[in-house]
Structure 1
Amino acid sequence: MLAFTPNVPPCTADMLTLSTDAGDGDLNGMSHAGTWLVLTNKSGHACTVPGQPTVSLKDAKGIALQAVRKAPVGMHPGPAVVPVRLEPGASARASLRWVSGDVYDNGKCVDAAKVEVRFGKQVLSAGLSGHLCGEGAKAAEFEQSPLMRAG
């Protein structure tokens, strides 16, 4: 991974593409599912993205789901995550993982059709097929790793 350098400007949404990658089931397991979020620099210039962008999930109608990022255990508000530098054509990825089985007493499940990634005023979206389940009246939770250079 290239170190963060302050003279490299932030990426704008028009410089990037967002895609999801099931990774041949890498993030799936017993009552769990997930996907990789992949940001790719399609511009001809290096730029930086926040290492922990804000992720939200939406249903097929584009309505935000009651699904929130689960805070890492023992890290409040969390570790410092540095921006990731993306050279032209380079990608960074983060994992999203959630409970996909209705395993809770009085559980509630929601279906995601789209994922949005925000950093500042920049917004990127991609299709996503996810069935997320949560406990009782609480929002479903997902784990999100920091972005890391892919490949």
Structure 2
Amino acid sequence: MMRWLIPAVTLGLSILPAGAHAHAVRACMPRHTVMVLDDGQGEFDGMMHSGLWLVVRNTGTHACSLASVGPVSFEDAHHHPIPVGWRQTVGAPGGVLDTGTQVATALRWVSGNAFDPGYCITPALLALPVHGGMLRQPFGRSLCASSGAPPQLEQQSWRPWPERQ
């Protein structure tokens, strides 16, 4: 009886949904994860505001854990950090990202120099730390703020994201 117990338990665990045994799932790594920026066909654009969807997709052959995904940051062309303030702190997406699935978060900011006095910066890159590295995408959008303060961004909670066709 004992020699059948271990294979039966192993088989039972292998057919559980990925989230049921997330502790056994490896962290999402840069080589199996893609980040894209989606402007939502202008859905965020206003007179002085802008935004986009940041989408993370698992392109690997196995599910991966998003527990180690860090906060979004901005960099210049030489990968030096650019200070930005956050109106809302959002944690890592958490959970498990199955093969071929993706999650997204919305980012919003002031994109026009609406401040007196004010200034605008244009970060070269948006960066997202993942286990073992960094995902980067060209950014090239204006972030504006009042003089003496960093630009402020708002980040919404992460959510499952259907692939746009």
Name the TM-score, length of structure 2 as normaliser.
0.75
Q: Quick check: which has more Rg, 1 or 2?
A: 2
Partner of 2:38: 21
| Alpha-carbon separation, structure 1, partners of 2:72 and 2:92 | 15
Q: Which amino acid is 1:63 matched to?
A: H
Q: Which has the higher strand share?
A: 1
Task: Tell me the CA shift for residue 81 of structure 1.
Answer: 6.2
Partner of 2:143: 132
Q: Which amino acid is 2:60 matched to?
A: S
C-alpha spacing 1:31/1:84, structure 2 compared with 1 (3 Å): farther
Q: Which has the higher helix share?
A: 2
CA contact (8 A) 2:122 2:140 kept: yes
Q: Which amino acid is 1:11 matched to?
A: C
Give the number of aligned pairs: 144
Partner of 1:110: 121
Structure with greater contact order relative to length (CA < 8 Å, sep ≥ 6): 1
- Which sections of structure 1, spanning at least 5 residues, go unmatched? 73-77
Residue 53 of structure 2 corresponds to residue 42 of structure 1: no
C-alpha spacing 1:117/1:108, structure 2 compared with 1 (3 Å): same
Residue 157 of structure 2 corresponds to residue 146 of structure 1: yes
Q: What is the aligned-residue identity percentage? A: 26
Name the TM-score, length of structure 1 as normaliser.
0.82
Q: Which amino acid is 1:99 matched to?
A: V
